[in-house]
């Protein structure tokens, strides 16, 4: 029983995400209770690969500020429809148009392609968004969760013009730290995922764009296996994070924070067993050293995906209120 505790907790938290998304797909209106317009666009065509974005907007004549939202999933699973409907409603009610994107997934695709997709989505948002869905390209923030938080932090130095603000829920600024390159103690407390089982979890299609079977309880086993073996950075990049650490520097925000880095909010729990609390502290050190405005929202009892596992708690509600206040301060 004890050996399976971590995996059970993680599965429960992730199932909660899936259930909340199922509810969002079945609800009317589709925006967590807000009366919005939802439209799907293709933001990038690369050969046979078409990457899409769901745009959620309230009706109105004035150009609105926008949020580019990036999903979690270890860059191995996940999709644009993973956005929490209640959080979506908060953003909409605060006056933001929300653009939730897909990106290509590892291991079929590697880090360069994944990051390139996010950069393309951002460029599309600020260049095409004003005409397509009436956003103000001068007022754009990026928000992401876990791996989406990692990608969010990358936009702080990899895109131009810089976003007005970044919000990373339990994200990370590096891929070469001990937490990522060593076998995960937490994941190894659970059921061991064999290499064969991990590869089977990717499904039969082996689609090189967005796998048709990119479901949480399927592909997530590949992530678990990679973390158990300490090979996750290699699996998503094709590069050795120890022997080729220099290669990763362009993909690690913690080494690229300068005074021009956008105002940043980090939300991270002290009990996070997927992305350790020390990872957030390291990012904060980099922000402080560069003199970047930041806010840090934390509680000692929060684990990974705390905003889903404890979505009804007053502490999470207050954290989300702080997110809106932070965005309003720096974006509006």
pLDDT digits over 215-257, tens only?
A: 556 789 999 999 999 999 999 999 999 999 999 999 999 999 9
Residue 1's pLDDT is what? 34
Q: What predicted TM-score, i.e. pTM, was given to this entire model?
A: 0.91
- The Cα–Cα gap between 162 and 155 comes to 7
Residue 204's pLDDT is what? 63
Cis peptide before 29 (omega within 30 of 0): yes
Residues 6+ apart with CB under 8 A from 289: 257
Q: Cα 311 vs. chain centroid, distance in angstroms? A: 17
Closest alpha carbon to 91 in 143, 53, 41: 143
Instruction: Give the burial string for 150-174 (b: 16+ CB within 10 Å, else e).
Output: bbbbbbbbbbeebbbbbbbbbbbbb
Half-sphere exposure of 107 (CA within 13 A, CB side): 20
Q: Give the DSSP per-residue string, 295-321.
A: EEE--TT--TTHHHHTTTSHHHHHHHH
Phi then psi for 219, rounded to 5 degrees?
Answer: -70, -20
In this structure, what DSSP letter does residue 75 have?
Answer: T
Phi then psi for 226, rounded to 5 degrees?
Answer: -65, -40
pLDDT tens sequence across 269-304: 999 999 999 999 999 999 999 999 999 999 999 999
Q: Give the DSSP per-residue string, 164-201.
A: SEEEEES--S-SSSHHHHSPPTTGGGSPPPPHHHHHHT
Residue 213's pLDDT is what? 47
From 3.40.50.1820, 3.40.50.300, 3.30.70.270, 3.40.50.150, which CATH number describes the 2-172+256-331 domain?
A: 3.40.50.1820
The count of residues in the chain is 332
- The Cα–Cα gap between 151 and 148 comes to 5
Residue 312: burial class (beta carbons within 10 Å; 0-12, 13-18, 19+): exposed
Instruction: Give the burial string for 218-242 (b: 16+ CB within 10 Å, else e).
Output: ebbbbbbbbbbbbbbbbbbbebebe
- Please identify every stretch of the chain with a pLDDT value under 50, giving residue numbers as ranges: 1-9, 12, 15-29, 213-214
In this structure, what DSSP letter does residue 253 have?
Answer: G
Cβ–Cβ < 8 Å for 157, 261 = yes
Closest alpha carbon to 83 in 175, 145, 29: 145
């Amino acid at each position: 029983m004890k050996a399976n505790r971590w995996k059970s907790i993680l599965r429960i938290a992730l199932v909660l995400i899936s259930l909340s998304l199922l509810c969002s797909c079945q609800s009317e209106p589709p925006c967590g209770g807000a009366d919005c317009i939802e439209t799907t666009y293709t933001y990038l065509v690369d050969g046979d690969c078409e990457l899409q974005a769901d745009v959620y907007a309230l009706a109105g004549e004035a150009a609105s500020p926008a949020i580019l939202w990036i999903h979690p999933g270890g860059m191995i699973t996940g999709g644009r429809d993973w956005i929490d409907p209640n959080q979506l409603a908060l953003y909409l009610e605060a006056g933001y148009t929300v653009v939730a994107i897909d990106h290509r997934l590892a291991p079929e695709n590697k880090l360069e392609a994944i990051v390139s997709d996010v950069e393309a989505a951002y460029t599309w948002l600020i260049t095409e968004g004003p005409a397509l869905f009436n956003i103000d390209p001068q007022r754009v923030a990026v928000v992401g969760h876990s791996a989406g938080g990692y990608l969010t932090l990358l936009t702080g130095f990899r895109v131009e013009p810089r976003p007005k603000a970044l919000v990373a829920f339990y994200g990370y600024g590096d891929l070469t730290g001990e937490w990522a390159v060593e076998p995960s103690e937490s994941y190894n407390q659970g059921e061991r995922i064999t290499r064969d089982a991990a590869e089977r979890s990717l499904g039969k299609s082996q689609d090189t764009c967005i796998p048709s079977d990119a479901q949480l309880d399927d592909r997530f086993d590949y992530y678990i296996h990679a973390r158990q073996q300490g090979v996750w950075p290699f699996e998503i990049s094709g590069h050795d994070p120890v022997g080729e650490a220099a290669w990763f520097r362009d993909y690690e925000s913690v080494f690229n924070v300068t005074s021009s880095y956008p105002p940043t909010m980090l939300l991270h729990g002290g009990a996070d067993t997927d992305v350790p609390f020390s990872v957030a502290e390291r990012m904060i050190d980099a922000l402080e050293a560069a003199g970047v405005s930041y806010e840090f929202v934390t509680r000692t009892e929060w684990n990974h995906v705390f905003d889903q596992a404890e979505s009804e708690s007053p502490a999470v509600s207050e954290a989300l209120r702080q997110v809106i206040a932070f965005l309003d301060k720096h974006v509006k």
